[in-house]
Structure 1
Amino acid sequence: MATEVKVPALGESITSGIIAAWNVKDGDYVEKDQVLYELETDKITSEGLAEVAGVISLAAAEGDEVDIGAVIATIDESAAAPEKSEKSDTKETSEEPAAEKPAPEQKSDAISPAVRRIAEEEKIDPATVTGTGKDGRVTKGDMLKATPASRMPAEESKPAAAAKAPAAKPAPTGERTSRKRMTPLRAKIAERLVAAQQEAAMLTTFNEVDMSAVMGLRKKYQDAFVKKNGVKLGFMSLFVKAVVNALKEVPGINAQIDGNEIVQNHFYDIGIAVSTPKGLMVPVVRDCDQLSLAGIEQAIIGYANKAREGKIGIDDLQGGVFTITNGGIFGSMLSTPILNAPQSGILGMHTIQERPVAINGQVEIRPMMYLAVSYDHRIVDGKEAVTFLVKVKQALEDPARLLLEV
């Protein structure tokens, strides 16, 4: 009896995807719930699991675009599982317990296509990565954790010193360029960014915030916060709370255009831009007005891990009313963020730099950050945008305002 392996439905708006990698070979024996393949769509990357055990026969190749519901493989359930050799069994039972041996070296045929692809893209040798899979095998998750993006502290605003890159190999004669197909996710990101600029009357206004109070607050209560909640108090949760407070003060930004109507939102689901090896994703933290700082931090960490492991779902990315993006973790000093349609506003955070500023007639060195808010001028007036950014600035420079909601 053969069971068909079909591309599952992943959401109403998703009609097809590309097989990014097969984790098994044609003719392999697979176990039930074993990961068979990775499917990339214009929104997410998902993994396909085996519903039954048996010998698999592949009907589609890596790189093929397949429709939802298409049969991409079959599994012969009647095939018996491979038996261990008698010699191997005897050896295992007769040997005395030995000291723990180091994980076996990764052989090229033991590396999955997903691991090989990440190794090529990120220039990481799998042999240098500690494997957590069976017999010390390096998994996709191990490789993602080893990427430079995942090693960067999520809340660090100052750019880290660049590691010395290995010398690039000279391109062979006649091969000065290379081509690869754009992934559905990258293509969709490009499409949405261009559409946002074409469809909205986008404008950006700027301000700067003195981060002294926020940094002092974190330093004073960090240990107690971690002890109680199990997570660090980062900048992002404080910015989320400041944004929620400002949206309540300036509700015009918490709205969007739908045809000839203005839809006013009365909830506070905030999107947090997360950089992954596959591209930018914006998971949404729900009901931020009702969450504590610890609750927001936990939600952000959970989403960041899911995004890097390719486990973000469609529901995680939909329904946000406002977006926050932090280019500061990469060293950005100033930028004009692009709207995440159909939202009417997006806040850009940037790197913290110590700069001389005038305080009560005296020049002092303070940790300063430039803030940028891009907004849809069709629905948001300049006065509202400036007032919104001032409210964010005030809340961060005097965090007591967040508690009092003033």
Structure 2
Amino acid sequence: MASEVKVPALGESVTEATVGEWLKKPGDAVALDEPIASLETDKVAVEVPSPVAGILSEQLVAVGDTVQVGAVIATVEAGDGAAAANPAAAAKAAPAPTPAAAPAPSPAEEESSDPQTLSPAVRRAVLEYGVDPSTIKGTGKDGRLTKEDVIAAAQAKKAAPAPAASAPSPSPAPSASGERREERVKMTRLRQTIAKRLKSAQEDAALLTTFNDVDMTAVIAARDAYKDLFAKKHGIKLGFMSFFAKAATLALKDVPAVNAQIQGDEIVYFDYVDLSVAVSAPNGLVVPVVRNVDRMSFAEIEQAIAAYGQKAKEGTLTMADMQGGTFTISNGGVFGSLMSTPIINPPQSAVLGLHRIEDRPVARNGQVVIRPMMYLALSYDHRIIDGREAVTALKIIKEAIEDPMRLLIDL
């Protein structure tokens, strides 16, 4: 009996998605809840599982098609799919041939005999590095491949010496000098959404950016002094982001307009801080939300951000991870940015941009000294935040970072 495969619920206010990739083709065996297709929504990639074990009998939509929540995209014929999906187990159950033993399969054949389900991040890495996933031994849960496995295999392949040729082969004709090429690639739904939201932010909001610089000496000293004890106790590295999250919380409590939003003809003020943290994902920039960051410890903040960063790399962020947020921190410094004017993340009204730390000469007590300095940028919607409020908020963040004791005494 054929079972229908439907587009699952994709999250609040999300009603459609684009078929990004088929993970199984007609005739392939599928297990219960095994992903058979990957859908791209406005924010994340969503895998569609099989409702039954059996054989994928038909694909009803093509890659690139737009599908609605609840739409039928494929059918699965229930039956012996579970057994077919695990030929290795079936082989063990079968009696051994009596005349003569068959030749032992090669390692590559053993790996390829058990079909693997690859996550979107792993599939992208396989295509990017040009490696055969069936020849790689996975280190993830249940032996599944991770992105790191693919990268390691690609590096090992690159480092391996080329086999000596038994006979000289003719060299291919050299490409014409000055050859010009073009490539057209359809924008993913995520990239289209990013483009629309950023353009909308520029058109709807009265954007302005205020700058300051911050001396990182005290934070670096505190981090160096306690990073080993912190990691030993909490199992996570002590980074700079938790300091800035705490400092931003102080600023948002003192200057509520920076943590507010315009909704229709009303201004909504929040007495909590849900912090959107911009992280880089394979398909573009995403902003998962650390909720109630104003109530969290340094360790809880670091653990939450690290978990979201890992999910972003693996392509497993969910719609729930991305919804909400009252304020955003974007750290362009990890990519080497010296200064930028970040764009707000609607409907939020402000975003804090962090940049790279570099030694610069500054005046201290009438003397020129070298200090680790960072430029800070606060972009804000001038419709709701006045310049005085924006400058005050950024000054509070600067003072808290330069004197971390303020973070402890809420000053």
TM-score category, normalised to shorter length = 0.7 to 0.9
Give 5+ residue unaligned stretches, structure 1: 149-168
Report the Cα distance in structure 2 between the residues aligned to 1:337 and 1:126, rounded to whole angstroms: 40
* Counterpart among 295, 304, 322 of residue 300 in structure 2: 295
1:314 equivalent to 2:319? Answer: yes
Report the Cα distance in structure 2 between the residues aligned to 1:133 and 1:378, rounded to whole angstroms: 49
Letter in 2 for 1:10: L
Q: Is the CA contact (8 Å cut-off) linking 2:53 and 2:79 kept in structure 1?
A: no
Q: Is the CA contact (8 Å cut-off) linking 2:129 and 2:154 kept in structure 1?
A: no
Q: Post-superposition shift, 1:145?
A: 9.3
1:272 equivalent to 2:261? Answer: no
- 1:378-399 per-residue CA deviation (whole Å, 9 max, x = no partner) reads 1111111111111000000000
Letter in 2 for 1:275: S
- 1:129-179 per-residue CA deviation (whole Å, 9 max, x = no partner) reads 65337997745674589999xxxxxxxxxxxxxxxxxxxx97999871111
1:22 equivalent to 2:22? Answer: yes
* Counterpart among 104, 129, 132 of residue 139 in structure 2: 132
1:13-92 matched pairs, under 5 angstroms: 13-57=13-57, 58-79=59-80, 81-82=83-84, 84-85=90-91, 90=96
| Two-structure CA RMSD over aligned residues (Å) | 3.3
Q: Post-superposition shift, 1:223?
A: 0.7
- 1:40-83 per-residue CA deviation (whole Å, 9 max, x = no partner) reads 11121111112210111222233322222111111111346336
Partner of 1:157: none
What secondary structure sits across from 1:90 in the alignment?
coil
1:1-400 matched pairs, under 5 angstroms: 1-57=1-57, 58-79=59-80, 81-82=83-84, 84-85=90-91, 90=96, 114=120, 115-120=122-127, 122-123=128-129, 125-126=131-132, 131-132=138-139, 138=145, 142-143=149-150, 176-400=181-405
Q: Post-superposition shift, 1:325?
A: 0.2
Report the Cα distance in structure 1 between the residues aligned to 2:390 and 2:185, rounded to whole angstroms: 41
Report the Cα distance in structure 1 between the residues aligned to 2:379 and 2:148, rounded to whole angstroms: 35
Q: Is the CA contact (8 Å cut-off) linking 1:21 and 1:37 kept in structure 2?
A: yes
Using the size of structure 1 for normalisation, the TM-score is 0.84
Q: Which moved more, 1:299-308 or 1:324-333?
A: 299-308
Give 5+ residue unaligned stretches, structure 2: 156-173
Q: Is the CA contact (8 Å cut-off) linking 1:339 and 1:374 kept in structure 2?
A: yes
Report the Cα distance in structure 2 between the residues aligned to 1:353 and 1:190, rounded to whole angstroms: 31
Letter in 2 for 1:397: E
After superposition, the Cα gap between the structure-2 partners of 1:208 and 1:260, relative to the gap in structure 1 and judged at 3 Å, is: same
What secondary structure sits across from 2:295 in the alignment?
coil
Q: Post-superposition shift, 1:29?
A: 1.3
Report the Cα distance in structure 2 between the residues aligned to 1:147 and 1:354, rounded to whole angstroms: 36
Report the Cα distance in structure 1 between the residues aligned to 2:77 and 2:255, rounded to whole angstroms: 61
Q: How many residues align?
A: 380
Report the Cα distance in structure 2 between the residues aligned to 1:172 and 1:111, rounded to whole angstroms: 42
Radius of gyration: which is bigger? Answer: 2
Identity value in percent? 53
Letter in 1 for 2:15: T
Report the Cα distance in structure 1 between the residues aligned to 2:242 and 2:146, rounded to whole angstroms: 31
